[in-house]
Amino acid sequence: MVHISGSSIVIKTLKCLGVDVIFGYPGGAVLPIYDELFKDNAIRHILVRHEQGAVHAAEGYARATGKPGVCLVTSGPGVTNIITGLQNAYMDSTPIVCISGQVATFLIGTDAFQEADATGIAGPCTKHATLVRDVNQLARKIHEAFYIAKSGRPGPVLIDLPKDVQVSTADYIHPESEIVHPTYKPSIRSDISVIQQAVDMMKYAHRPVFYTGGGVINSGDQAGALLYDLANITNFPVTSTLMGLGGFPASDSKFLGMLGMHGTYEANLAMYHADLIVCVGARFDDRITGKLSEFSPGSRVIHIDIDRSSISKNVHADIPIVSDVSYALKDIFSLWKKICSTEDQSSKLNGWWQQINEWRAVECLKYQQSTTVIKPQYAVDRLYAATKDMDVYITTEVGQHQMWAAQRYKFESMRRWVTSGGLGTMGFGVPAAVGIQVAYPDSLVIDIAGEASFLMTMQEMSTAVQFRLPVKIFILNNERLGMVRQWQQLLHGERYSSSYSESLPDFCLLAKALGCHGIKCEDPADLDRCIKEMIDYPGPVIFDCVVEKDENCFPMIPAGCPHNEMLLGDQPYSSGSESDDDDQYDKHVMV
């Protein structure tokens, strides 16, 4: 045993846990830890420009690597500035551990300088928040934090550390075995009898669909491979939430695309008319279900989720399976192979696939091309064409550009798509890209952004410059708060209240001021050349892609409407060849 300071215990424990990078911002209440970082050069520290950026960077690192991201901030405003990031990580099930400094224990409750009730503030937006008052408990508390963050449904954990605990000394005791929390013991595998019930229900379905979410990604590569094998052996169609993109290959014929508010026509109608939904690691949020009372009215539901509280919270599950996705899919696959004939199953679903292909024929993602102005859909298409065969990671901000990226950029593998789903945090993409680039310095990392979102955390490009991180910011600049403007046009009588961005900076001059390379493109004919310039430039790039100002993102299910009521924009609606049973597949599509 070695008698060392609390701050030394922090660094020693983080090293023991395999932490190689911390995203943070120093302040008085964490200077002892920063001093240890300086003396022990084993862990890299990335100095962000705002504490919110530290959390989002840690999220990007975690989402791309599968390992918990770590951030370090000071007390008071340092910790209050991370709350948005903690809530974002909580809603998107991202494992991060944040260490915040706190005033000395004898000052807690006195309204001391830069004091804030960190655990009280962060409690509702973390899996666990703890104030460590005893240096002898510090190592164990850190191990517990990592265990809680990455086990069960992943999420953020906060460790609040008073300054006197950081400078106190104690014997460092390395845990002899993996930490197991005395009360937090998530279920990771369901009883096989429940799996048998699920397989029996799947066997007799005529209009089934796999509805997949971020749980597939969080469960790991094995889950993606098992989902692929199960879809092939069952011949079930697959659709995905925003967070689940990449969990199933986008090029596969069984993939219907993303579903929900801006999902594809075929995915939404398949969900509406299904007789069985097999939900794999998703949570039936409002952007997916639309009008809850009319969501998939004729279906039964099998719900696989590691978080028991998510099952039947919004949509009743006929068969609840509390399990890690990998275990559940493995068990379902094994039982299916024993009792089901692949040939018979494929034949039984021919009519269902015929109907799905008729819906696909609508080509709901079509748009009117222009030779004089860059359409945002075209910009994403050309970016995808230029990068699809590269080692590329895509982050986004939040808004129309996010939906166009989700609709049009095709992800073939997991962890290549990192976006803010549950909270919808503008400003997420830039620091998330920084975190990914730190993890994978030789990969191409692109943030598909809107100009308004970019302005929220653009200072993190200074971080990218300092640490030589060649992130690329691809701004779809329409000079509007695009999604707000679209809703105002379609749902609020074209009353455009505060949705126009005046006095935008010259992004090329801004890039120069920050030490980045700036590119501006307004002509569709120049777009491919400019994208190549962005990719080839060896450092950080801010690309100002000036696009059509008033383009809307379609398809769109208006808030409060069911899946079979979609806005398809100005496209003429063609139903293709109707199903033999017109009543069964009645379509109510507003054009």
pLDDT digits (tens, 9 = 90+) for 538-549: 999 999 999 999
Where does residue 496 rank: exposed (0-12), middle (13-18), buried (19+ CB within 10 A)? middle
The confidence score (pLDDT) of residue 560 equals 82
What is d(CA 378, CA 408) in angstroms, rounded to the nearest whole number? 9
**Can you give the C-alpha Rg of the chain in angstroms?**
25
The confidence score (pLDDT) of residue 42 equals 92
Lowest mean pLDDT among 165-169, 250-254, 290-294, 340-344: 340-344
Which residue among the candidates 113, 366, 466, 578 is catalytic per the annotation? 113
Respond yes or no: is residue 330 known to be catalytic.
no
Residue 559 banded pLDDT, cuts 50, 70, 90: confident
For the CA atoms of 287, 153, 24, 163, the dihedral, rounded to the nearest 10 degrees, stands at 130
Domain with CATH 3.40.50.970 in the chain: 2-172, 376-546
The confidence score (pLDDT) of residue 577 equals 34
| 505 and 474 Cβ atoms separated by less than 8 Å | no
Respond yes or no: is residue 554 known to be catalytic.
no
Amino acid at position 320, single letter: P
Write down the CATH number for the domain with range 2-172: 3.40.50.970
Whether residue 585 has pLDDT greater than 50: no
The confidence score (pLDDT) of residue 574 equals 34
The confidence score (pLDDT) of residue 588 equals 41
Whether residue 573 has pLDDT greater than 50: no
The confidence score (pLDDT) of residue 347 equals 83
The mean pLDDT of 565-583, rounded to a whole number, is: 51
Which residue among the candidates 12, 23, 36, 51 is catalytic per the annotation? 51
The mean pLDDT of 322-346, rounded to a whole number, is: 89
Lowest mean pLDDT among 92-106, 159-173, 490-504: 490-504
Which residue among the candidates 261, 271, 483, 556 is catalytic per the annotation? 483
Measured in Å, how far apart are the chain's first and last C-alpha atoms?
A: 72
Whether residue 590 has pLDDT greater than 80: no
Backbone angles phi, psi at 261, to 5 degrees: -55, -40
Respond yes or no: is residue 51 known to be catalytic.
yes
376-546: what fold?
Rossmann fold (3.40.50)
Whether residue 576 has pLDDT greater than 50: no
pLDDT digits (tens, 9 = 90+) for 461-514: 999 999 999 999 999 999 999 999 999 999 899 999 999 988 899 999 999 999
Residue 571 banded pLDDT, cuts 50, 70, 90: very low
Write down the CATH number for the domain with range 192-360: 3.40.50.1220
The confidence score (pLDDT) of residue 177 equals 58
